[in-house]
Copies of this chain bind each other. A is one copy, B any other.
Amino acid sequence: MGKLDFWFEYGSTYTYLTVARMHAMASRHGIEVRWRPFLLAPIMVEQGLAQGPFLPFPQKLRYMWRDLERRAAAHGVPYRRPSRYPPNTLLTARIGTLAAAEGWCAGFTERVFALHWTEDVEIGTEANLQGALAALGKDPADVLARAQSAENKQRLKDATDEAKALGVFGSPSFVANGELFWGDDRLEEALAWAIGA
């Protein structure tokens, strides 16, 4: 069975297209996906892009919104442009990290992104997190407490360090058979690599 590591940041716009497509595409190709949340902000800061990859570049930012909308339509992915950008993703990433350790990261992440990108319930807000946890039947108070434990905070730091060591510099990124791919528009290529095509 092919394996793929899916490295992602909850605040990344293009990552939504991947999150929305990953389950169906990986299933179709019989690929086992490890969902690996990390924090992109520290990596961006190291690149001298403290405001992220789009905000400092107005033309690129404008293009991004249009491109996202076009590609969502092309992929049949529901899309409603969120009111606010970028969101604050630290708490969501901590919960995602806990979820990854416990095996429910995919479902949690799909719901977080769907709320943000189809119902304009912003990632990182209480409404978004409660909604995503409720959909999975999780007890929010319990999850929040464990997500903010020292152990789990360290897990997220370690994941971010691991991403950096792999050469990850943006989200989404994929690692398949030792090869790094960056961008939702490389998902097909990464999946093909995972099955050795």
Contacts and interface: CB of A to CB of B under 8 A. Distances in A.
Interface of A: 47-48, 56-57, 59-60, 62-63, 66-67, 70, 74, 167-170, 179-182, 185-186, 189
B182 A74 contact: no
25 contacts: A47-B56, A47-B57, A47-B59, A47-B60, A48-B56, A57-B169, A59-B167, A59-B168, A59-B169, A60-B169, A60-B170, A62-B167, A63-B167, A63-B169, A63-B180, A63-B182, A66-B179, A66-B180, A67-B181, A67-B182, A67-B186, A70-B179, A70-B189, A74-B189, A185-B185
How many copies of this chain?
Answer: 2
A67 B189 CA distance: 11
Instruction: Please indicate which of the listed interface residues A47, A63, A70, A189 has the most CB atoms of chain B within 10 Å of its own CB.
Output: A63
Nearest to A180: B63
A43 to B, nearest CB: 8
A169 B64 CA distance: 11
Top 5 A-B residue pairs of the complex, sorted by shortest distance between their CB atoms: A59-B169, A59-B167, A60-B169, A185-B185, A47-B57
A162 to B, nearest CB: 14
Contacts of A180: 63, 66
Nearest to A62: B167
A74 B192 CA distance: 11
A180 B64 CA distance: 11
Nearest to A168: B59
A77 B168 CA distance: 26
A12 to B, nearest CB: 15
A176 to B, nearest CB: 12
Contacts of A59: 47, 167-169
Nearest to A166: B59
A63 B166 CA distance: 11
A106 B186 CA distance: 28
